[in-house]
Amino acid sequence: MTKRVLVTGAAGFAGAYMCDYLAGLADRPRVVGADIAGGGVKSCDSFHSVDLSSADRTSDLIRSVTPDYVIHLAGTFGTDDWRSIYSTNVLSALNLLEAVRLHRAGAVVIMAGSAAEYGSVPVDRLPMTEQLTCTPVTPYGLSKAIATQISEYYHRVHKVCTMVVRPFQLIGKGVTPRLAPGAFASRLAEARRSGSSEIKVGNLAASRDFLDVRDAARAVWMLCEKPAAGQTFNVCSGKPVRTGDLLDLMMRSAGIQVQAVVEQSYLRGNADADIVYGSYDKIREHCGWQPVIPLQDSIRAMFE
């Protein structure tokens, strides 16, 4: 019997790539997308427009789809609006897990956490591993840490097969301009159109762990196929890249050279750690996953 996979946040950046990945598998499952945005996703077999902050709508969704796997990628970031963050990142996670407990207790559930859960980690504690105590420094990071605790609770108390993946900074075509790679791509494209000789940027000295979104989608499915209930896994490249070096690579790929001008309003103060990178040893040891797409290929795809 064909397995059914429910992907929440299917119309978003990571969600759309997840659906595309599943649709391209040789042993293709039935892909069901769900998102608060309407319009559907072309690689989904069916699509539900639903607000997961509604417990009733979420229960209806699980009863209707009866998924074998739930990949929860719906979420929000880049805002200090606690009401929006709580509703989207915390309440939706709670509603989804409660609906699974009541109506599809045998499903495998993967929740998307974030490297932001770790907070600001001293250099001598890097790379970040899953054993680190989470001390988030942003409302987004805290909301994801709370959602992780909810996921662990549902496994520990209700025996739901939950896992959490903590992606580091995902990169690829279509990444939001609210993140540095997406902002750079958008501003470079505009500079190329307008003939401008400069773009505005934030902190170019910070180093981040960039991972191709297609590698992340493959990691999620490998965990679906080999569940480790109650566990959390980093999904990352395992190496830091200076943001200024990323911009240089992107300029070469875009075929444009401009001056980067620091805009003070783009700086994030204490929330902007100097260096962030993780270890993927745990997921590699568990199911054999490791990143395979070079950063240059990810950048090239952004300008295709």
Tokens of 181: 């790679």
Q: Confirm whether 39 is domain-assigned.
A: yes
pLDDT of amino acid 270: 63
DSSP assignments along 217-238, one per residue: HHHHHHHHHS--TT-EEEES-S
- The pLDDT tens digits for 57-116 are 999 999 999 999 999 999 998 667 888 899 999 999 999 999 999 999 999 999 999 999
What's the gap between Cα 276 and its chain centre? 16
Q: Confirm whether 183 is domain-assigned.
A: no
Q: Confirm whether 241 is domain-assigned.
A: no
Q: Confirm whether 257 is domain-assigned.
A: no
Cβ-count burial of 137 within 10 angstroms (0-12 exposed, 13-18 middle, 19+ buried)? middle
Q: Which domain holds residue 142?
A: 4-171+210-236+277-292
Which residue type occupies 253?
S
- The pLDDT tens digits for 4-63 are 999 999 999 999 999 999 999 999 999 999 999 877 789 999 999 999 999 999 999 999
Cβ-count burial of 214 within 10 angstroms (0-12 exposed, 13-18 middle, 19+ buried)? buried
How many domains, in total, are found in the chain?
A: 1
Give helix 295-302 / helix 180-194 axis angle, nearest 10°.
Answer: 50
Radius of gyration of the chain (CA): 19
Sequence-separated (6 or more) residues with CB below 8 Å from residue 136: 116, 117, 118, 119, 142, 144, 145
Look up the CATH number of the domain holding residue 138.
Answer: 3.40.50.720
Q: Confirm whether 190 is domain-assigned.
A: no
State pTM to two decimals: 0.95
Q: Confirm whether 259 is domain-assigned.
A: no
Q: Confirm whether 263 is domain-assigned.
A: no
Q: Confirm whether 14 is domain-assigned.
A: yes
